[in-house]
Copies of this chain bind each other. A is one copy, B any other.
C-alpha cells in the first residue's frame, strides 16, 4: 500500500455498467515524510473518505478484494483512513 491524500473527485456518467454508483476520488501520493511525490491515482472509496483525508490505498488485483469493488474493473481502492504514522519514533502525520 502507499500513503496518499484525497484532493478531488472525478465525475463520469458514461461508464462500465458494473461501476454504477461508484465514487471516484483523486489521491495524491505521499512519501513517508508526508510530502507529495507528484504521483496520483484515481481510486474507488471503500471507507467513506473525504477531501483532505490521508489514506492508505491498494492497487492491482488487491483493489478488488473489498465488497464494493469485487469483480469490478477497478484497479485502486482506498482501504483505510490514516490516524497517524511514525517513522523511527517520530510522528509524521496525525489526523486532527
A contact set with B: CB distance below 8 Å: 1-3, 7-19, 24, 26, 28, 31-32, 40-43, 46-48, 51, 56, 58-67, 69, 71-77, 79-88, 92
**Would A58 and B73 count as touching, CB distance under 8 A?**
yes
Q: Are B73 and A2 within 8 A (Cβ)?
A: no
Inter-chain contact A85/B9, CB cutoff 8 Å: yes
Q: Which of B7, B24, B58 lies in contact with A1, CB distance below 8 A? A: B24
Set B16, B59, B65, B83: member contacting A47, Cβ < 8 A: B16
Cβ of A3: which chain B residues have Cβ within 8 Å of it?
A: 10, 42
Whether the pair B19, A80 counts as a contact (CB closer than 8 A) is yes
17 contacts across the A-B interface (CB closer than 8 A): A1-B76, A8-B92, A9-B85, A10-B56, A10-B84, A11-B83, A11-B84, A11-B85, A12-B56, A13-B81, A15-B47, A15-B56, A31-B40, A51-B88, A60-B60, A62-B75, A65-B74
